[in-house]
């Protein structure tokens, strides 16, 4: 067994684990009681909140809002593409919630006392009084010292007491005007109360923070990724008020969405009206020129030749008119964009765009502008998202302008070619009177302006119809706001369950940490699982101040345990009549001296001649333990050849006659060197001639090497370990000393056991023997 390595316990001893942790049952009870008490207090303090939910369908399809009506099937230009994710963010915006709250007039909240720890908010018919605000300054709420909570003590149908947060009380009449830093108001009594006085708490809400609180509580959940159904929900202490807020929020959202959709059509109508004013003026001027020219030249109809040339001119005229319209549209758009700097406006989308790529660029620009307007209503202009959107709009506008220049160039080339061909026709028509040719030119200009005018009128009508058609809301309510019948916060079962597991788990955790951090030996199993060295016995805790725990006739648990150890020593050394027992430990305070003295008493009671040697030459305690002093001892004997063993022996009347003591003597300067003197062996041999048992009380082997020097003379080494005092790593140290054979025949004795032995307790004579033991201790104490 010299190469012993502690084996891991393969099978878990569940009974041991349970008993190990049940030792701290009082801690678990305290933890459960404390946490459950805190949970009860939390439930008393927390205000119950009811769940409120509503479900709406967002019109997020890309088809036009007017496509269901055949009259408006071609007006998809004004349709605003809705993404459900974007709309959910809009619904959670603080500005939208602020609009809803302002319309509901929730500037004042009313409370009554609910219990010792909390107030209960009342609303609607439950409120016996009403605060009428004549002036409300929301900016005053930024003052941290502002008093906004008051107690109204209704004294009767005519008067009340007003108490502020600083407990200042004043008397007022109902309807009396009251002035405070945040505004002016009066209080009206809505209904007679059953008893007077009665107290109502009023709280003036900060409109900025109130909207933020509701917005933060609001949860917007997209029900299905394949659908555009959104569920709105939050919790509120007053379910009636919560339902009103949620329904008003949906109403405000639909109103804002319709305003946004109508903005494009309104901008288009304004643009077309400006263009119509210009075209109308030009058309009137041309008509006046025709009238004046015909009057001067007395023209009524064209000749047949002129009619032939006119047909050819008309063919070119239609193409020139189309080119002119295109150029006018492009010039109008170019001018419209050029005058804009950072004040972006939506480009009218109903004009005839000659190029598909330009039309796509304009649609992209308008879509970016609509997104920017949506974001500006919910965020600040300096937001990085707004700045990024501005940059995208500038880039899109520049692309449109460059595209317009390219298209204008192409149109002008085509128009010039057509004009060249028209010029050839004009040369061929030289026979046509100058008057007729000039008239044709005037008529051509008139026709171009007429077509332009008709085109603008048509587009204005379309925009007007789209504006009238966009009164359909952006969402459809599937389920209006409804409140639950039971509070969802706080969840009593969850709170109590959490408190239960926190109390029990926290206590178990503390015990677990205690066992993990506490490296001391706590139970016998801590020793047996780490070493194969036999345990000679256990000694229970000895509360008596008298150092001798065993005497003749005493059958206490400690006395019986020393008798058991004495018997085990006989089995450990069955073939030796004379025994040398070395007593040591890993550190001081583990009970070596107590064990040595009482083991000596136990041996002497068995008719053995015993001597106990105080061989701890550094910190001797044996004789001091018994209240004795001696000037000569072991150190004096080893250094002085004139002394004999008989000069060292000390007797004590309290000890049995067969037990002698030899003290340390004068404390030497070099105890380690003294232990190595040959005279030590001679000293032990001489003692064996007289004594049957020699008990050596040595210094701790974990601190000094004295015990190693004495081990060569011993037959057996008893290593004392004390429960809840000795460190567990001392067992590894003892294993190492055994492997290296530095300690001869080691055995372990476990000291200061807190629990009584389960066997033999009925034989300890709790009655007469206990009384006799007290008498013996009392007698020995008097001798001391």
Q: Is residue 359 part of a domain?
A: yes
**Confidence bin at 170 (pLDDT 50/70/90):** very high
391, with CB counted inside 10 A (0-12, 13-18, 19+), is: exposed
Domain match, 497 and 559 both: no
What does the pLDDT average to over 718-741?
Answer: 86
Q: Is residue 697 part of a domain?
A: yes
- Among 426, 443, 445, 464, CA closest to 325: 445
Of 478, 505, 539, the domain-final residue: 478
Tell whether the model's pLDDT for residue 742 goes beyond 70.
yes
Domain match, 375 and 320 both: yes
- What total number of domains does the chain contain? 4
Q: Is residue 248 part of a domain?
A: no
DSSP structure string for 345-362: -PPPSSS--S-HHHHHHH
Q: Is residue 672 part of a domain?
A: yes
Q: Average per-residue pLDDT in the chain? A: 79
CATH code assigned at 561 = 3.40.50.300
Q: Which secondary structure element, helix H or strand E, spans residue 540, and what is its range?
A: strand 535-540
Give the whole-number percent of the chain exceeding pLDDT 70.
Answer: 83
The number of residues in the chain equals 784
Tell whether the model's pLDDT for residue 745 goes beyond 90.
no
Per mean pLDDT, which range of 10-14, 224-228, 341-345, 770-774 is the poorest? 770-774
536, 748 contact by CB (below 8 A): yes
Cβ partners under 8 Å of residue 738, min gap 6? 2, 4, 533, 746
Per mean pLDDT, which range of 162-176, 247-261, 277-291, 647-661 is the poorest? 277-291
Does residue 211 sit in helix, strand or coil?
helix
Give 601-622 pLDDT, tens digit per residue: 888 988 889 999 988 888 888 8
The Cα–Cα gap between 379 and 372 comes to 10
The Cα–Cα gap between 667 and 617 comes to 6
pLDDT of residue 775: 52
Per mean pLDDT, which range of 235-244, 372-381, 589-598 is the poorest? 372-381
| DSSP code for 61 | -
pLDDT of residue 763: 46
**Confidence bin at 187 (pLDDT 50/70/90):** very high
Q: Is residue 83 part of a domain?
A: no
Q: Helix 356-378 vs helix 384-428: angle between axes, to the nearest 10 degrees? A: 150
pLDDT of residue 473: 65
Q: 317: which 2 tokens? A: 């005229």
41-61 burial: b if 16+ Cβ within 10 Å, else e: ebbeeebbbbbbbbbbebbbe
What does the pLDDT average to over 163-179?
Answer: 91
pLDDT of residue 129: 92
pLDDT of residue 634: 86
DSSP structure string for 72-94: GTT-GGG-----HHHHHHHHT-H
pTM (2 d.p.): 0.56
444, 317 contact by CB (below 8 A): yes
pLDDT of residue 758: 38
Tell whether the model's pLDDT for residue 715 goes beyond 50.
yes
Q: Helix 239-297 vs helix 84-91: angle between axes, to the nearest 10 degrees? A: 120
Q: Helix 557-572 vs helix 592-605: angle between axes, to the nearest 10 degrees? A: 80
The Cα–Cα gap between 231 and 223 comes to 7
Tell whether the model's pLDDT for residue 296 goes beyond 60.
yes
Domain match, 502 and 577 both: no
Print the SS3 string covering 135-182.
EECHHHHHCCCCCCEEEEEECCCCEEEEECCCCCEEEEECCCCEEECC
340, 369 contact by CB (below 8 A): no
- Among 257, 537, 312, CA closest to 424: 312
Domain match, 495 and 433 both: no
pLDDT of residue 199: 92
Q: Which secondary structure element, helix H or strand E, spans residue 321, and what is its range?
A: helix 304-338
Domain match, 429 and 509 both: no
The Cα–Cα gap between 634 and 622 comes to 13
Print the domain residue range for 402. Answer: 261-478
Q: Is residue 144 part of a domain?
A: yes
Per mean pLDDT, which range of 134-138, 281-285, 319-323 is the poorest? 319-323
The Cα–Cα gap between 189 and 169 comes to 19
Domain match, 471 and 507 both: no
The Cα–Cα gap between 695 and 595 comes to 10
Does residue 705 sit in helix, strand or coil?
coil
Q: Is residue 449 part of a domain?
A: yes
Tell whether the model's pLDDT for residue 577 goes beyond 80.
no
Give 448-503 pLDDT, tens digit per residue: 878 888 888 888 777 777 666 555 567 788 889 998 888 888 888 999 999 999 99
**Confidence bin at 140 (pLDDT 50/70/90):** confident
Give the whole-number percent of the chain exceeding pLDDT 90.
Answer: 17
Give 1-51 pLDDT, tens digit per residue: 344 444 444 455 677 778 878 888 999 999 999 999 999 999 899 999 999
Give 204-228 pLDDT, tens digit per residue: 988 888 888 899 999 999 888 778 8
Tell whether the model's pLDDT for residue 378 goes beyond 60.
yes
Give 60-118 pLDDT, tens digit per residue: 654 444 334 333 444 444 433 457 888 888 888 998 998 888 888 888 999 999 888 88
Does residue 535 sit in helix, strand or coil?
strand
258, with CB counted inside 10 A (0-12, 13-18, 19+), is: middle
Peptide bond into 197 cis (omega under 30): yes
pLDDT of residue 464: 73
199, 112 contact by CB (below 8 A): yes
Neighbour tally for 581: CB within 10 Å: 25
pLDDT of residue 310: 61
Per mean pLDDT, which range of 151-165, 259-273, 675-689 is the poorest? 259-273
Per mean pLDDT, which range of 110-124, 271-285, 292-306 is the poorest? 292-306
Of 177, 204, 231, the domain-final residue: 204
695, 596 contact by CB (below 8 A): yes
Domain match, 21 and 123 both: no
Q: Tell me the CA distances in angstroms from 186 to 127, 147, 177, 281, one per residue in order.
A: 15, 17, 5, 62
Domain match, 194 and 308 both: no
Domain match, 586 and 735 both: yes
Strands (E), 590-745: 610-614, 649-650, 659-662, 693-697, 716-722
Tell whether the model's pLDDT for residue 569 goes beyond 80.
yes
Q: Is residue 241 part of a domain?
A: no
Give 657-676 pLDDT, tens digit per residue: 888 888 888 888 888 888 88
Domain match, 439 and 507 both: no
- Among 113, 146, 111, 147, CA closest to 129: 111
What does the pLDDT average to over 405-411?
Answer: 81
717-727 burial: b if 16+ Cβ within 10 Å, else e: bbbbbbbebbb
What does the pLDDT average to over 748-770?
Answer: 56
Structure-token match 């939390």, residue found: 42
Of 415, 450, 478, the domain-final residue: 478
Domain match, 731 and 757 both: yes
Domain match, 466 and 507 both: no
């Amino acid at each position: 067994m010299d190469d012993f390595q502690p084996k891991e316990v393969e099978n878990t001893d569940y009974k041991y684990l349970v008993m190990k942790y049940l030792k701290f049952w009082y801690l678990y009870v305290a933890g459960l009681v404390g946490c459950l008490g805190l949970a009860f207090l939390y439930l008393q303090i927390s205000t119950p909140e009811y769940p409120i939910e509503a479900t709406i369908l967002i019109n997020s399809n890309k088809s036009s809002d007017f496509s269901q009506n055949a009259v408006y099937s071609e007006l998809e230009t004004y349709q605003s593409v809705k993404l459900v994710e974007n709309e959910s963010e809009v619904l959670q915006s603080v500005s939208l919630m602020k609009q809803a709250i302002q319309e509901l007039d929730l500037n004042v909240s009313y409370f009554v006392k609910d219990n010792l720890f909390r107030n209960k908010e009342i609303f609607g018919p439950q409120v016996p009084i009403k605060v009428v605000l004549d002036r409300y300054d929301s900016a005053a709420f930024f003052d941290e010292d502002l008093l906004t909570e008051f107690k109204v003590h209704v004294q009767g149908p005519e008067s009340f007491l007003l108490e502020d947060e600083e407990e200042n009380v004043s008397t007022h009449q109902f309807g009396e005007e009251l002035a405070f830093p945040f505004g002016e108001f009066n209080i009206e009594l809505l209904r007679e109360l059953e008893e007077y006085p009665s107290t109502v708490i009023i709280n003036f809400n900060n409109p900025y923070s109130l909207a933020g609180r509701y917005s933060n509580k609001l949860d917007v959940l997209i029900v299905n990724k394949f659908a555009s159904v959104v569920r709105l929900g939050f919790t509120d202490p007053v379910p009636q008020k919560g339902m009103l807020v949620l329904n008003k929020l949906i109403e405000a959202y639909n109103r804002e969405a319709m305003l946004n959709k109508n903005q494009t059509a309104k901008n288009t109508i304004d643009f077309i009206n400006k263009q119509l004013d210009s075209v109308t003026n030009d058309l009137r001027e041309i008509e006046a020129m025709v009238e004046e020219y015909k009057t001067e030249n007395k023209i009524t109809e064209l000749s047949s030749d002129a009619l032939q040339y006119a047909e050819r001119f008309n063919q070119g005229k239609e193409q020139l008119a189309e080119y002119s319209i295109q150029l006018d549209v492009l010039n109008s758009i170019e001018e419209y964009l050029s005058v804009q700097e950072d004040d972006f406006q939506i480009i009218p989308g109903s004009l005839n765009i000659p190029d598909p790529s330009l039309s796509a660029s304009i649609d992209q620009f308008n879509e970016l502008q609509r997104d920017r307007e949506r974001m500006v209503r919910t965020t600040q202009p300096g937001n990085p998202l707004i700045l990024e959107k501005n940059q995208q709009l500038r880039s899109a506008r520049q692309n449109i302008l460059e595209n317009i220049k390219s298209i204008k160039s192409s149109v002008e080339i085509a128009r010039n070619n057509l004009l060249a061909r028209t010029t050839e026709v004009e040369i061929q028509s030289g026979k046509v009177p100058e008057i007729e040719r000039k008239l044709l030119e005037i008529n051509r200009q008139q026709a171009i302006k007429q077509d332009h005018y008709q085109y603008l009128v048509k587009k204005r009508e379309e925009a007007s119809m789209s504006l009238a058609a966009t009164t359909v809301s952006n969402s459809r309510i599937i389920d209006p706001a409804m409140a639950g019948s039971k509070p969802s916060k706080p969840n009593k079962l969850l709170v109590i369950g959490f408190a239960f597991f926190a109390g029990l788990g926290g206590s178990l955790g503390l015990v677990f940490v205690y066992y993990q951090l506490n490296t001391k030996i706590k139970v016998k199993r801590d020793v047996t699982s780490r070493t194969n060295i036999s345990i000679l016995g256990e000694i229970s805790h000895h509360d008596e101040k008298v150092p001798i725990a065993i005497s003749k006739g005493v059958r206490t648990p400690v006395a019986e345990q020393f008798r058991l150890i004495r018997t085990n020593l006989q089995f450990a050394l069955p073939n030796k009549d004379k025994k040398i027992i070395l007593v040591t430990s890993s550190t001081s305070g583990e009970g070596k001296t107590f064990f040595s003295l009482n083991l000596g008493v136990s041996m002497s009671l068995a008719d053995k001649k015993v001597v106990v040697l105080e061989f701890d030459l550094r910190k001797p305690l044996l004789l001091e333990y018994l209240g004795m002093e001696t000037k000569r001892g072991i150190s004096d004997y080893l250094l002085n050849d004139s002394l004999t063993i008989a000069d060292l022996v000390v007797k004590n009347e309290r000890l049995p006659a067969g037990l002698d003591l030899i003290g340390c003597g004068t404390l030497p300067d070099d105890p380690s060197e003294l232990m190595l003197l040959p005279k030590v062996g001679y000293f032990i041999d001489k003692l064996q001639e007289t004594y049957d048992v020699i008990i050596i009380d040595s210094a701790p082997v974990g601190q000094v090497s004295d015990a190693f020097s004495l081990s060569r003379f011993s037959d057996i080494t008893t290593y004392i370990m004390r429960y809840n005092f000795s460190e567990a790593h001392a067992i590894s140290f003892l294993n190492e000393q055994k492997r290296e054979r530095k300690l001869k025949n080691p055995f372990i004795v476990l000291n200061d056991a807190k629990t009584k032995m389960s066997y033999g307790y009925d034989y300890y004579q709790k009655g007469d023997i206990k009384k006799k033991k007290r008498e013996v201790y009392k007698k020995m104490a008097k001798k001391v």
